[in-house]
Homo-oligomer: A and B are copies of this chain.
């Protein structure tokens, strides 16, 4: 058991606080001889990095990744060796003084109170371990995970921000990288720009829904009961900061479906492979992949750090008002897009290795 690890055969352990010297991860169990491209890992980190637009926190972090172990040059290419891959990201733009005011106050909606209730102390600087900075390490691990499952393509998009839901008929993956919200609907993205600007200026924040799609997953990954592919996706997504809901395929909406609507019918395709006529199941049945795209969503709550004063208490038991003046994301869901991809990649890499272990 490990509080800070996930995965079994492809196992990621992360460490580090928002305002310590560094954060990072150790990826254990990665197969050997996979090519590692540091620039590629960096590109994923840059996508998650703060300060990319006015819609994310203005903290300036290079988020530069350094590989400490588990790789070597082999026939002129940097490859994995099969031993643990440790990756380090140094913190460079910590302004701890920004947080002195909240040292003894619990920010409502934040983990301040619960960390202190559990541990008897908390690292108040930037949220310490509860900071979303920890997810940089996950993104680095996700970049390695993608190498483990080369036939699988994993993409994510922001499909809802507050009251603005995208129109699925306008879904265009190419649009995702054209707007600062990773939204696949260009019209919705435009709306979001004005909408979020208003929220940002008022010092408020807003929630979002992210959808992650994995194409190319063959039928058969996963396992019954607690080794279910969807159970692991659910845990992985729910482990991301601020996530409160997880859906596979039709998700919560299955409650309204009849058996006829829900049963994804099958036919034999011309290539002799089964074809599904629908994908309400999101590519997973009985905890095992069907061969269809794996489709999952998660909802991210609004950033708790807002300008409007909220009622709270302090460590001494006094009633106080809390208003957060640090640098924060008006919609933390935006930066959750690459994180969702990374978590999906890690879960699939793990399940691929587990499947290969049991079945061969």
Contacts and interface: CB of A to CB of B under 8 A. Distances in A.
Given A82-B118, A115-B288, A245-B253, 11 more contacts: A4-B26, A9-B354, A20-B68, A81-B123, A81-B129, A235-B238, A245-B247, A255-B299, A263-B310, A268-B317, A357-B358
Contacts of A28: 2-5, 13, 15
User: Which of A107, A207, A228, A333 gathers the greatest number of chain B CB atoms within 10 Å?
Assistant: A207
Contacts of A123: 72, 81, 83
B238 A288 contact: no
Interface stretch (A45-53, A56-64, A157-165): A157-165
User: Which of A237, A246, A282 gathers the greatest number of chain B CB atoms within 10 Å?
Assistant: A246
B33 A119 contact: yes
Interface stretch (A175-183, A185-193, A219-227): A219-227
A70 interface: yes
A259 B15 contact: no
20 contacts: A3-B227, A6-B226, A9-B358, A81-B128, A82-B358, A83-B123, A83-B129, A114-B219, A118-B288, A204-B259, A230-B238, A235-B238, A241-B286, A244-B251, A245-B248, A245-B253, A247-B252, A257-B302, A262-B301, A266-B312
Interface in A85-115: 85-86, 88, 106-111, 113-115
Contact of A16 (B68, B120, B360): B68
Contacts of A246: 234, 238, 245-247
Nearest to A283: B114
A291 interface: yes
A208 interface: yes
